Structures are given as structure tokens and as C-alpha cells.
Amino acid sequence: MELFPKEETEDRKENEFMQSTGLVVVQDQRVVGLHCSGSELHAGQVAVIRYGPKLAASELYFSRKPCATCLKMLINVGVSRISFWPGDPEISLLVEGHNGTDSNSQEAILDAIASEKLKSNSHPHMGVAVQPLALGLQQFVVETSKECDFMERVSGDSPELDIEDLFFRQRRQNLNTFSGEFLIQNEECHRDVLAKIGLENFCMEPYFCNLRQNMRELVGVLASVAASVPLLTHGFYMKDAQPTASGSPQTRGVSQEIARHCTIQARLLSYRTEDPKVGVGAVIWAEGKSGGCDGTGRLYLVGCGYNAYPVGSHYGQYPQMDTKQQDRQRRKYRYIIHAEQNALTFRSAEILEDENTMLFVTKCPCDECVPLVQGAGIKQIYTTDMASGKDKGDISYLRFDGLRGLQKFIWQKSCLTTCPSEYAGPHLANGCVGKHRREPELELSCSKRPRSAMPKDHSLFVDQW
């Protein structure tokens, strides 16, 4: 979420010390909100404004240690857990200070001291360390990312491309970018930051080395998933312009960068699947009427999900086989809840008739899901149609092509009719437009995986304090 594409406004306050921060809000083990800092408000402040007292007992996962201004309000409202990656905090301890001060600016140090005091006098658990990835997951993500539907489509459309080379070049580029954002390259600087934010105990070996290695692995996963939706020759373009069910005019699509970012979120999510073979992820975002204080602008999360057996079921309780199993009773299809079904079922916001609600899903909706998506009032779908037209008996994808009443933005080579970014104003790069605009980079998405490759309880962080 820290890298959510945003438009830089003219009046954006230039504060060299403030770093954009991403936030995931979890309640009852479910993701209810995805946020990032905006031009005026920090991610923690956005959460307080958005949820108010409902934040009590929530678990918050920050991409950096939040500043004292956010922490005091979050402690005050009674969140149950605050977790963060212990790199350079929200008020940077590394950025060269403005007004002639040095990098150890008084402001940042005072903030670090205040955060420490707030932490030691507070009730919420505060977690810092990133857990190691499951054995083999890194390689699994590389393999499944380079063969996912999005890459397959690129390869099919451009047979002259060396798809493996493309993937690894994009991955390397992502590794550089993400490492620069999240890891502090210089180990001594990192130790210095940890000492200043009250985590001296992590400066000792083997904790320090493990901490950095775990983050490096996580960055590797992000880099692979991001490389699997390469915005070089392909993008999300409308398949066939259809009048909406209500007869209302076509809604505008989001920019290619946002579409890709949300697709990457869905691909990441798909690695949590319980399907023995195919992971599918879905995220639903809506475009609110008024400009939000969030770094996501008017967009807000409605829900997210991945394909899994019914909540509360145990491993092996239901059939796991696919169509190759002759005995149909032993096939998985009648038991697995699809990604879209979970995203709709456990949504944290209502789907409003007069708002543009968008589904980003890593596989095109099957015949079971098409009427659900339509009935729920989704206005736009961003997906790949690689499975469209297939009928495998227990699961089929015959109805997607005929799905009317909403706009379908399909991952494809060229803009056949309407390109989302044509509508979306200035071109948005990963980060912002204008002078700080970065080169378009690749981001993420996913597929087949072993069960339980990812931790199930959102705990990328473990308790430390």
C-alpha cells in the first residue's frame, strides 16, 4: 500500500522527512481496510478518521513505524496491535534534513523518543519482526509468476518476446526499486535507526541478520509478483463497450497503474489459497463520491478474498482432487469457495448503486460467480480472459463473454475500444505524477501453489515488545 499510485497535487506539502506509509487494518482476522498516507494526512490519521471508535481491538500493520502523532491517537482509541517493518520510520531518520540540519534532525529524533515513551506506557502489543517465508515459497512464487495467465497472454500475443528474459529483467528492476524503498542498504545506518527507535535488541546478531534476510525475501516475493503483470505492451482494455443495466452512462476506468496495482494485490492474495493447485485472488475497490483524505484518493476497499474451503474447515476434511480424478465425489469443486465469493461475502463496505465498484480478479469469473458479480452491483471487472470459453464439467467459464451490464477491462495487448487511462487524467506512475514520476515498473499477481505456503493469520510480524 505504501506504493499505491497517487497523483501529486500542486499544493502537496513538501516535507522531506515524511515518508509515505502503507497500512492494512485487520478486524477479527479479516482485512477491512487498505490505506496509505495522503498529501495531508498520515496513514494512521486516515484510519482514525475513517473508523473512529471502531478501531478499538483492530490490528494495524504499517509499512514503517508510525510517528508519535499517529501512535498517540491509535493507542488512545484502543487498537489491540500495531505492527511495522523496522526500517526507516515514517518521520525519516535518514533523509538529509532541510533548513541546513543534518540527517539526525532534531524533529525525527524527538519523534522517535516520543514514540518510544508512548510504546512503553501503552497497552497494545507492538510487533516488529518479519517472519521468514515458508521453505520453497520464494522459488514457487517465481515459477508461478512467470507462468501466470497475465504472462501467458503476453507470450501468446508476442511470440517474438523471450518471456523468461522479460520476467527476470522486470524482477531485477523491481528488486532494485523495492529494496531501495524498504531496506536500508547500509547495515550500519540500519543499526543506527534501530537504536534510535528503541530496538537496540535487534542490532545484535543473529537477530539483525535474520531481520534483514526475512525482509529481503519478502521484497523478492513482491518483485516476482509485480513482474508478472508487465505494463510494457499490455494493459487493461475494455473488451466490448456495453450499456450498463441501469442505462446510465459508462463509468470511467481507473488508470493502468492503479488497475495493475490492484491486480498485483489480488495476485499476492492468491498465494494464500487453500486450493491444492490453483490460487485465485480478488480485491474489490470502489470509487467514492468525495475526494478522500486517504493516499488512495477517492478509492476505498470494499473487500478481498482468495479461493479456500469453508471457514472453520480442517485440512483434508473436503475432497481435493481436480477433473483428472475419475470419481467425481472426490473432486474439490463443490466445496471450494471462490475468490470473488469470499471477497463479496466478507466485504467490509456495502456496494452502492451510485458508485463505481470494481472487481480485480486473477482469473476470469466462472459460471458460478458471473451471476453473483452481476447481482452484487459490480460495475467494472479487471481480469484476464485466458480461461474464458472453457468448460471442464465441474467448473466452466462459458458465461463470462456474454456477461452484460458491466464493463470488462481485459488484460490484452492493445486498446480495442476504450483505454482506462484515457479517462483517468494524467498518467500515474507507481508513486506519483509530475517531477517525481518514476519510470513505469512492474508489479504483482498469482496461481498454483502448495497449501499453507503462506501464514494464515496475517502475522507477517511477530511480537517483540
Ligand X SMILES: Nc1ccn([C@@H]2O[C@H](COP(=O)(O)OP(=O)(O)OP(=O)(O)O)[C@@H](O)[C@H]2O)c(=O)n1
Give the residues lining the site for ligand X (CB under 6 A): 275, 277-278, 280, 307, 322-323, 336, 338-340, 361, 363-366, 369, 387, 392, 395
Least distance (Å) between residue 342 CB and ligand X? 8
Indicate the residue type of 340.
E
Least distance (Å) between residue 266 CB and ligand X? 10
Whole-number Å distance between alpha carbons of 293 and 43: 9
Closest CA to 37 of 286, 296, 291, 283: 296
In terms of CB distance, is 41 or 358 closer to ligand X?
358
Least distance (Å) between residue 305 CB and ligand X? 8
> Active-site residue 340, yes or no?
yes
In terms of CB distance, is 281 or 297 closer to ligand X?
281
In terms of CB distance, is 85 or 306 closer to ligand X?
306
Closest CA to 425 of 293, 284, 291: 291
Least distance (Å) between residue 339 CB and ligand X? 4
User: Which of 90, 287, 340, 441 is flagged as catalytic?
Assistant: 340
- All three cell numbers of 294, joined, read 486517504
Whole-number Å distance between alpha carbons of 146 and 151: 6
The HSE-up count of residue 107 (CA atoms within 13 Å, CB side) is 19
Least distance (Å) between residue 419 CB and ligand X? 24
Nearest 5°: CA angle at 57, between 300 and 116?
95
Indicate the Cα dihedral angle 237, 306, 48, 178, nearest 10°.
-70
In terms of CB distance, is 290 or 326 closer to ligand X?
326
Whole-number Å distance between alpha carbons of 198 and 375: 51
In terms of CB distance, is 174 or 357 closer to ligand X?
357
Residue 360: φ, ψ to 5°: -110, 115
Count CB neighbours of 67 within 10 A: 24
- All three cell numbers of 202, joined, read 535487534
Q: Parallel, antiparallel, or unpaired: how do β-strands 59-62 and 30-36 relate? A: unpaired
Least distance (Å) between residue 444 CB and ligand X? 17
Closest CA to 32 of 261, 388, 268, 349: 349
Whole-number Å distance between alpha carbons of 334 and 366: 13
Q: Which residues are catalytic?
A: 340
